[in-house]
């Protein structure tokens, strides 16, 4: 007799296990299980059939791979979690006996400290693997760095997130590896290229954050605990890779005063020289050395031996051991050559071209940030793209500012105010102009003290903050007059959206996007609209002279009807004396004479309208004869052009539709349905793009309404 097969021992039921079964096997609580799964990167799985996987009559909702749970059985953190549970029981017993001092002593002496270094090395065996998973880590840490301290978010966690994110920004400033940025509703997006990997993260705006009760901060706190460890490893490798000591020195007093980036002092290894980011001059030799080291490390994965060294938190670790053991290698990029000599030339990749372009974008400028502008994002972006002289108002934080607003070395000032007028030169007490006083060698501090703060300084370029973002996304400085204070700004477009066929692209001219005959058809539609408007205006003018249009009644007559002064359809004659009748006859005769003459304005309007109609009719006759129409036929030239454009466009569409129908006959039914759905979606896309092009055409021709800022 064959052996009876037991349910749940083979097949899909063997590959999956429920969450309750995993908890019984690991012997831990549900919060600890969730925490352990986040640390190890294990997530629930969705089987194809829950009924086949479930070992009971009631199907479960959460399943995990059996091999993943088996892998967690050997995790050292399980012992730490059990120690925490036993310590919690001891503390609760001490508090139950009212032994508060004993509970504090137990927590201080037997407190369990959890380290995640071994998990970082397990999940990221190479440095490039850690960089690929850095997007979510940076977004989460920048979010917690902007949160207020509450019961769920302790101030130590916020301070640690702020320190790690500022250290990461310092590395981007030093190596000029920031590439793009975008201002969105959610926040500010940044993209940097580190060791050949593109990293994109989101930084929220610095508003007052209000934490809601529907957010589980325990889960988010677990992710933050893991991400802080990961970013510590990454920052250590990045800093030591360019010859800097990690962690950088932090000035507590400057940080309390709002210095932020300027509170850190970078120092090189073995040189003894320090570099303060707020100083005016930068050590050029150290910068070139760091840049050369960064270029050599681009796109090179870290071996497992180096990953083990990253786990060491001691600052006195030997950093030169890798250089001695590792063979000397030079980073060379592949050159892409085409086999066909007539093919297009392929662009060859370059390691230092982007870095040099970013380092020289704002380098020759001295930029001042007004107090209404976001200081930290602008300071970070400007310094990451080469500007080393950034000043701001003392109300934003005095430490680290390069200059004040009255400094004569400022070349650009970023403001977010209405249009600022140019100042008029005031007179001094002796009746001398301020410009003459400056030419005579008088100190400019006196003139700056008398100059109002809401006027421009001659010789200084004033721009709005969007000028900085558009310049770095375009890779070149944009025209400053387009971003002047009070001006309507150009559209701020995402640098990651690539133009697709058939989709409206605001960066390309209309001539390159329009379909064949679309411009002529749109022009004919606009002419028809103008003609209808002219006819409506003429009708209103005639109605204003006393003629009644069917279905239209004047506002004054309507008000009189409401008041009962005029009876609709009835004339009421009021009796009076003969003298009054004679006076009315004289007034009527005078009015008749005036109506016969009409005045200057009436004759001019009539002559202009008649001449314009005759000119249009004559032009239409000439074009009709040129097109071969019968003599005496009057056709509108614009209408003829519009119909010709429509016929030309419809003929091309008919030919394409006939070819498509012939091909559809050879398709299977399933593919034909998919093709019809695709055609429908493409038609909807083309219709939307055509509407956007029509709006742009009206705005460029001056007939549309440009939205105010």
Cα distances (angstroms) measured from residue 81 to each of 20, 30, 34, 111, 153:
18, 11, 12, 11, 22
Ranges 170-174, 190-194, 316-320, 453-457: which has the least confidence: 316-320
pLDDT over threshold 70, residue 395: yes
621-634 confidence digits (pLDDT tens): 776 666 665 545 44
Note the pLDDT of residue 352: 66
Position with higher pLDDT, 521 vs 480? 480
Instruction: Indicate whether 708 pLDDT > 70.
Output: no
Q: Could you give phi then psi for residue 94, rounded to 5 degrees?
A: -65, -40
User: pLDDT band at residue 464, thresholds of 50, 70 and 90?
Assistant: very high
Give the model's pLDDT for residue 627.
62
Instruction: Determine the pLDDT at residue 73.
Output: 93
Q: Which of 173-177, 192-196, 444-448 has the lowest mean pLDDT?
A: 444-448
Does 508 have pLDDT greater than 90?
Answer: no
pLDDT at 212 over 80: no
Specify the DSSP element, H or E, that contains 512: helix 510-513
The predicted structure's pLDDT at residue 144: 95
- What mean pLDDT is predicted for residues 94-116? 89
319/623: higher pLDDT: 623
Mean pLDDT in residue range 534-543? 60
**DSSP codes joined into one string, 175-186:** HT-EEEEEE-SS
State the pLDDT at residue 55.
Answer: 73
Q: Across residues 655-661, what is the average pLDDT?
A: 85
| Rounded average pLDDT over 196-204 | 95
For residue 57, the SS3 value is coil
User: 526 pLDDT exceeds 70?
Assistant: no
Instruction: Classify burial at 196, counting beta carbons within 10 Å of its beta carbon; exposed 0-12, middle 13-18, buried 19 or more.
Output: middle
Checking if the pLDDT of 306 tops 50, the result is: no
Residue 438: helix, strand or coil by DSSP? Answer: helix
The answer to whether residue 265 scores a pLDDT higher than 80 is yes
What is the overall mean pLDDT for the chain?
Answer: 76
Contact status, residue 240 vs residue 127, Cβ threshold 8 Å: no
Higher pLDDT, 311 or 170: 170
Q: Name the CA radius of gyration of the chain, rounded.
A: 39
- The secondary element (H helix, E strand) that includes residue 391 is strand 390-392
Q: Is the pTM of this model over 0.85?
A: no
**pLDDT tens track for 136-165:** 999 999 999 999 998 889 999 999 999 999
E runs forming strands in 242-350: 249-250, 264-267, 274-276
Q: What distance lies between CA 366 and its chain's CA centroid?
A: 26
Query: Comparing 86-95, 249-258, 469-478, 553-562, which segment has the lowest mean pLDDT?
Result: 553-562
Euclidean distance between CA atoms 315 and 326, whole angstroms: 22
The pLDDT of residue 664: 86
Residue 554 has a pLDDT of 46
Mean pLDDT of 222-234: 96
Whole-angstrom CA distances from 605 to 538, 608, 610 are 10, 5, 9
- Phi then psi dihedrals of residue 270, to 5 deg: 75, 0
What is the structure's pLDDT at 298? 39
How far is 138 from 199, CA to CA, in rounded Å?
A: 9
Domains of the chain and any CATH numbers: 12-109 (no CATH), 117-310 (no CATH), 360-510 (3.40.50.10190)
Percent of the chain scoring above 70 in pLDDT: 64
589 or 105: which leads in pLDDT: 105
Segment 89-97 shows an average pLDDT of: 92
Would you state the pLDDT for residue 200? Answer: 96
Mean pLDDT lowest among 90-94, 291-295, 397-401, 675-679: 291-295
Quick: pLDDT tens for 61-71: 899 999 999 99
User: Which pLDDT does position 574 carry in this prediction?
Assistant: 44
Secondary structure (DSSP) of 607-645: HHHHHHHHHHHHHHHHHHHHTTPPTT----HHHHHHHHH
Q: Are 265 and 274 in contact (CB under 8 A)?
A: yes
Sorting pLDDT into bands at 50, 70 and 90, what band is 277? very low
pLDDT digits (tens, 9 = 90+) for 555-609: 444 444 444 444 444 444 444 444 444 544 554 444 444 444 444 444 455 555 5
Q: Which of 27-41, 446-460, 692-706 has the lowest mean pLDDT?
A: 446-460
Q: How far is residue 54's CA from residue 73's CA, in Å, rounded to a whole number?
A: 22
Higher-confidence residue of 393 and 239: namely 239
């Amino acid at each position: 007799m064959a052996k009876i097969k037991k349910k749940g021992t083979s097949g899909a039921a063997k590959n999956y296990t429920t969450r309750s079964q995993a908890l019984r096997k690991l012997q831990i609580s549900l919060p600890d299980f969730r925490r352990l799964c986040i640390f190890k990167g294990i997530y629930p799985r969705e089987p194809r059939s829950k009924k086949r996987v479930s070992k009971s009559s009631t199907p479960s909702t959460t399943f995990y791979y059996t091999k993943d749970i088996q892998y967690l059985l050997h995790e050292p953190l399980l012992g730490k979690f059990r120690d925490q549970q036993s310590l919690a029981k001891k503390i609760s017993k001490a508090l139950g006996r009212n032994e508060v001092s004993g509970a504090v002593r137990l927590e201080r002496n037997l407190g369990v400290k959890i380290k995640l270094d071994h998990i970082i090395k397990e999940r990221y065996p190479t440095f490039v693997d850690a960089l690929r998973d850095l997007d979510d880590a940076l977004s989460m840490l920048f979010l917690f760095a902007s949160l207020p301290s509450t019961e769920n978010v302790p101030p130590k966690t916020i301070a640690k997130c702020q320190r790690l994110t500022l250290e990461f920004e310092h590395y981007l400033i030093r190596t000029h590896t920031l590439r793009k940025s975008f201002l969105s509703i959610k926040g500010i997006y940044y993209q940097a290229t580190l060791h050949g990997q593109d990293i994109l993260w989101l930084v929220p705006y610095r508003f007052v954050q209000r934490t809601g009760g529907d957010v589980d901060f325990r889960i988010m706190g677990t992710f933050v605990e893991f991400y802080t460890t990961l970013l510590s490893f990454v920052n250590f490798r990045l800093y030591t890779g360019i010859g800097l000591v990690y962690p950088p020195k932090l000035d507590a007093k400057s940080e309390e005063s709002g210095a932020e980036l300027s509170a850190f002092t970078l120092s090189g290894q073995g040189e003894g020289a320090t570099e303060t980011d707020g100083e005016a001059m930068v050590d050029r030799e150290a910068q070139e050395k760091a840049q050369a080291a960064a270029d050599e490390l681009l796109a090179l994965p870290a071996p497992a031996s180096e990953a083990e060294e990253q786990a060491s938190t001691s600052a006195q670790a030997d950093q030169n051991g890798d250089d001695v053991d590792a063979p000397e290698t030079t980073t060379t990029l592949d050159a892409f050559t085409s086999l066909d000599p007539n093919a297009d030339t392929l662009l060859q990749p370059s390691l230092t071209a982007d870095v040099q372009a970013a380092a020289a974008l704002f380098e020759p400028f001295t930029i001042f940030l007004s107090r209404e502008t976001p200081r930290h994002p602008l300071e970070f972006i400007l310094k990451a793209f080469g500007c080393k002289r950034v000043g701001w108002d003392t109300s934003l934080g005095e430490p680290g500012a390069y200059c004040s607003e009255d400094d004569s070395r400022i070349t650009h000032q970023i403001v977010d105010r209405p249009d600022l007028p140019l100042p008029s030169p005031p007179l001094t007490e002796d009746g001398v102009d301020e410009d003459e006083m400056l030419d005579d060698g008088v100190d400019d501090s006196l003139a700056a003290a008398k100059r109002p703060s809401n006027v421009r300084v001659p010789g200084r370029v004033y721009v709005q903050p969007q000028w900085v973002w558009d310049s770095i996304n375009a890779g070149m400085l944009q025209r400053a007059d387009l971003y002047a204070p009070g001006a309507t700004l150009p559209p701020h477009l995402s640098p990651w959206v690539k133009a697709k066929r058939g989709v409206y692209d605001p960066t390309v001219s209309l001539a390159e996007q329009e379909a064949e005959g679309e411009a002529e058809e749109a022009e004919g539609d606009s002419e028809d609209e103008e003609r209808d408007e002219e006819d409506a205006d003429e009708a209103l003018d005639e109605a204003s002279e006393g003629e009644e249009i069917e279905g239209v009644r004047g506002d004054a007559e309507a008000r009189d009807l409401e008041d009962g002064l005029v009876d609709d359809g009835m004339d009421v004659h009021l009796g009076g004396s003969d003298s009054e009748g004679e006076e009315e006859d004289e007034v009527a005769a005078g009015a008749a004479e005036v109506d016969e003459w009409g005045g200057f304005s009436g004759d001019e309007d009539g002559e202009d309208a008649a001449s314009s109609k005759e000119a249009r009719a004559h032009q239409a006759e000439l074009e009709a004869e040129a097109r071969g129409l019968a003599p005496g036929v009057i056709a509108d030239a614009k209408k003829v052009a519009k119909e010709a454009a429509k016929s030309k466009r419809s003929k091309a569409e008919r030919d394409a539709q006939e070819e498509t129908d012939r091909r559809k006959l050879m398709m299977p039914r399933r593919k034909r349905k998919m093709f019809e759905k695709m055609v429908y979606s493409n038609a909807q896309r083309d219709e939307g793009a055509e509407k956007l092009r029509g709006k742009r055409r009206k705005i460029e021709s001056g007939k549309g309404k440009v939205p105010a800022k």
